A and B are shown apart, each in its own frame.
Chain A
Amino acid sequence: ETGVTQSPTHLIKTRGQQVTLRCSSQSGHNTVSWYQQALGQGPQFIFQYYREEENGRGNFPPRFSGLQFPNYSSELNVNALELDDSALYLCASSLAVWSGGTDTQYFGPGTRLTVL
């Protein structure tokens, strides 16, 4: 059983650029959630995808968008990067309760984004 993987590990961008972060779910999981963790803080929920549809969104602007693919891997896209977007971006996969799972979210290693 493979765990959650994310790429790239680190990324440096400049203000105004666009970025795409990628996540591969743990085998058998059908739900992916994305979180932003600023330095010294707890993670904050960005959005969740279930079977390729957005299934909930936190307080993030529309320039944060995502996709989930048929193999349940996922992308997080951020347009018009701002300095405050510098953070660790975590994805977490889970198997939904209505699919026979427990909803427990297992986190990937994260992508550290620095915006200059």
Chain B
Amino acid sequence: ELKVEQNPLFLSMQEGKNYTIYCNYSTTSDRLYWYRQDPGKSLESLFVLLSNGAVKQEGRLMASLDTKARLSTLHITAAVHDLSATYFCAAGGGATNKLIFGTGTLLAVQP
């Protein structure tokens, strides 16, 4: 059974600093997703990673995938307050592409 683990669960960081969120999954997965969720809101799609070595960047966020290590990372560069949210990774694939979500990382960027 596919399981997804994220760490850290909570991350408090200062504006301007860099940090990385880690996402491990237990069995082979066709694709890896990153979503952002603001309090009381729905999930916003950030990245879809489909192959080993895939790297995608949008603004201050960069996601990568290592299928051999079953690891994806979300790197935050020079954090700003607007990035404060909960970030989820999710592994999918198979006939339904049902998403198995990690526990989420609550990111708080302090001025």
Question: Please, which residues of chain B bring their CB within 8 A of the CB of A106?
Answer: 45
Residues of B within 8 A of A114 (CB): none
For chain B, the count of residues having a C-beta within 8 Å of the partner chain is 23
The contact string, 1 if C-beta is below 8 Å from chain B, for chain A 19-54, is: 000000000000001010000011111001000000
B48 proximal to A (CB < 8 A): yes
Q: Which residues of A contact B104 (CB under 8 A)?
A: 41-42
A-contact 0/1 string along B17-49, CB 8 Å cutoff:
000000000000001010100000111110010
Binds A, one of B53-61, B68-76, B77-85, B89-97: B89-97
Q: Is the CB of B42 within 8 A of A90?
A: yes
Chain B residues with CB below 8 A from A33, complex form: 96, 98-99
Residue A104 lies at the interface, judged by CB distance under 8 Å to chain B: yes
Cβ–Cβ contact B99 & A43, under 8 A: yes
Q: How many A-B residue pairs have CB under 8 A?
A: 58
Query: For chain B, what secondary structure do more than half of its interface residues adopt (helix, strand, loop), or is it mixed?
Result: strand
1-15 of chain B: CB within 8 A of chain A: 4
Most buried by A among B92, B96, B101, B103: B96
Known: A42-B88, A42-B103. A103 touches B97 (CB 8 A): yes
Contacts of B4 in A (CB 8 A): 42
Q: Could you list 11 A-B pairs, sorted by A, with CB under 8 Å?
A: A42-B4, A42-B101, A42-B103, A43-B88, A56-B95, A58-B98, A90-B42, A103-B92, A107-B44, A108-B42, A109-B41
Which residues does A use to contact B, with CB under 8 Å? 33, 35, 41-45, 48, 55-56, 58, 90, 92, 94, 97, 102-110
